Structure 1
Amino acid sequence: MTLAHDSAGSGPAVLLLHSTVCDRRMWDPQVPALTAAGYQVVRCDLHGYGDSPVPSTSFDEAADVAGLLTGLGIARAAVIGSSGGGRVALDVAARWPERVTALALLCTALRGHEASPELSAFSDREDALIEAGDVDGATDLNVDLWLGPEADEDTRDAVRAMQRHVFAVQLAAEEEGEPVRVELDLTRITAPALLVSGAHDLPDFREIAVHLAKLLPHARHTELDWAGHLPSLERPDLMNPLLLDFLRESQGQSQG
């Protein structure tokens, strides 16, 4: 299935996979910095987000992401994933390790992770608000939880608009296909990996980052003392240099 996407710049490819609180617009602060540094930047809307509708039949998200790259003539790419987009990035990197040159995971989710009491309570509250028809309340709940103290009002408004659109797209779907689940072996991932967590995020995401940093063969974990769950939006002035340094370092490793 084709995913809504855009591409900018030229050079080594970088694929951006958004958080499930947002859509591909969350990367607006990163695209100019990446293209100016000499990269081709591809960003897509995952199924049920942004301009990509909810599939009515079963779908394989990672395969569709890999197929998008193939359709654009991109054999290999660095992948940057935020939260739920990080989970998809891990799927792609484990199933097609030869296609991923570097892997930056920002407060990534992980399939099979057992939710903390805090995360479970959030999910229950969100479900209750949606069932009660209070979509605005559910939207505000997400904005308040997922953005750290450094996020300004413009950023909060942008996340609010994206999250509200997510609910609109998903609630409008008459039928919803089931995602295909493929058994993964994350130790097949060969790309250098950067695991980022935020000190103001829920504990789940630091635990996942620590776990993955031990599991993946060429990985390191960086915790940002200023960050919540969406550091690329909260402080792009601090996040962009970190990502660019990692990409340059990884590019040198892949050529060495």
Structure 2
Amino acid sequence: MTLSHEVAGDGPALVLLHSAVCDRRMWDPQWTALLDAGYRVVRCDLRGFGESPMPDRPYNNAEDVADLLKGLGIEHATLIGSSYGGRVALELAARWPDMVTALALLCSGSPDHVPGEALRSFAGREDALIAAGDIDGAVDLNVETFLGPEADDAVRERVRQMQRHAFDVQLAVTEEFAQVKAEVDLSLITAPCLAVSGGLDLPDFREIAARLPDRLADARHHELPWAGHLPSLERPAEVTDLLLRFLRETRGSS
């Protein structure tokens, strides 16, 4: 299955991977600026999000994205991943290191992260709400947990709509197929990496970002003290500038 996606622009390929609270629309605030900076920009919906349906067989998100890029004739790309999209980006960069030229990770997950108390508590509360049929409550929990105080009402409503749509798509299936887990060795990643964390985010994601410079060959950590889990939506202009600076550095070095 080809993931639902959009492609625009000319120049080096740049791939945007969304959070599990959102879909590819989360990158609307960055889309035009990245195109204007001279990139061929790709954004996709992972399975069960946005316009990509749930899988009808076992699957792997990193393989889906790799297949999408191959289908588009893209041999090398920079990956920008938010949260779960960052986890997918790390797996892709570890399994196909020659394909990835740089990584910018915003409050990223990690393929080998063991959830801590805060993340386990969130997951338990979300599961209980869904089991009780309170989908609106589960949506509200995600919005409250993953957006920091800088997010305005319009952003909160946008995230609420994206999360509600994902729940509607995912809960409608009668048979759910598990994602196939692959062996992932992060030390195989060769691409330069910017690991961004939010000072107001859950400890799990702050820990992942802080540890990446010790785990990757070329990574640096940058914390945004004002940010929750979705800084690209909370202060989009500031995060867009941060990304563009990193992209200029890696584009120049390459």
The TM-score by the shorter chain falls in which range?
over 0.9
Instruction: Quote the residue 2:94 is aligned against.
Output: 94
The superposition leaves residues 130-180 of structure 1 with CA deviations (integer Å, 9 ceiling, x where unpaired) of 000000000000001100110011100000000000100000112222211
**Aligned positions of 1:239-250 closer than 5 A:** 239-250=239-250
Structure 1 counterpart of 2:2, one-letter code: T
Instruction: Quote the residue 2:43 is aligned against.
Output: 43
Instruction: Quote the residue 1:114 is aligned against.
Output: 114
**Aligned positions of 1:195-206 closer than 5 A:** 195-206=195-206
Q: Paired residues, what number?
A: 254
The superposition leaves residues 24-76 of structure 1 with CA deviations (integer Å, 9 ceiling, x where unpaired) of 00000011110011111100000111111111211121111011011111111
For residue 28 of structure 1, give the secondary structure of its aligned residue in structure 2. Answer: helix
Q: Distance in 1 between matches of 2:179 and 2:134?
A: 27
For residue 121 of structure 2, give the secondary structure of its aligned residue in structure 1. Answer: helix
Instruction: Quote the residue 1:149 is aligned against.
Output: 149
For residue 29 of structure 2, give the secondary structure of its aligned residue in structure 1. Answer: coil
Q: Distance in 2 between matches of 1:209 and 1:37?
A: 26
Structure 1 counterpart of 2:199, one-letter code: A
**Aligned positions of 1:205-244 closer than 5 A:** 205-244=205-244
For residue 105 of structure 2, give the secondary structure of its aligned residue in structure 1. Answer: strand
Q: Distance in 1 between matches of 2:77 and 2:39?
A: 10
Whether the 8 Å CA contact 2:79–2:102 is kept in 1: the answer is yes
Q: Distance in 1 between matches of 2:187 and 2:106?
A: 19
The runs of 5 or more residues in structure 1 that have no matched partner are none
Whether the 8 Å CA contact 2:199–2:226 is kept in 1: the answer is yes
Instruction: Quote the residue 2:85 is aligned against.
Output: 85
Q: Distance in 1 between matches of 2:188 and 2:110?
A: 16
**Does 1:26 find its partner at 2:26?**
yes
Structure 1 counterpart of 2:239, one-letter code: M
Cα deviation, residue 212, structure 1:
1.2
Cα deviation, residue 79, structure 1:
0.1
Structure 2 counterpart of 1:229, one-letter code: H
Following TM superposition, the consecutive aligned residue runs of length 4 or more in structure 1 with deviations greater than 6 angstroms are none
Alignment RMSD:
0.8
Structure 2 counterpart of 1:172, one-letter code: A
Instruction: Quote the residue 2:66 is aligned against.
Output: 66
TM-score, length of structure 2 as denominator length: 0.98
For residue 179 of structure 1, give the secondary structure of its aligned residue in structure 2. Answer: coil
Q: Distance in 1 between matches of 2:37 and 2:90?
A: 25
Structure 2 counterpart of 1:176, one-letter code: E
Structure 2 counterpart of 1:237, one-letter code: A
Structure 1 counterpart of 2:34, one-letter code: L
Q: Distance in 2 between matches of 1:67 and 1:111?
A: 19
For residue 41 of structure 1, give the secondary structure of its aligned residue in structure 2. Answer: strand
Q: Distance in 1 between matches of 2:232 and 2:8?
A: 18
Q: Distance in 2 between matches of 1:136 and 1:23?
A: 18
Structure 2 counterpart of 1:35, one-letter code: L
Whether the 8 Å CA contact 2:62–2:89 is kept in 1: the answer is yes
Structure 1 counterpart of 2:89, one-letter code: A
Cα deviation, residue 214, structure 1:
1.0
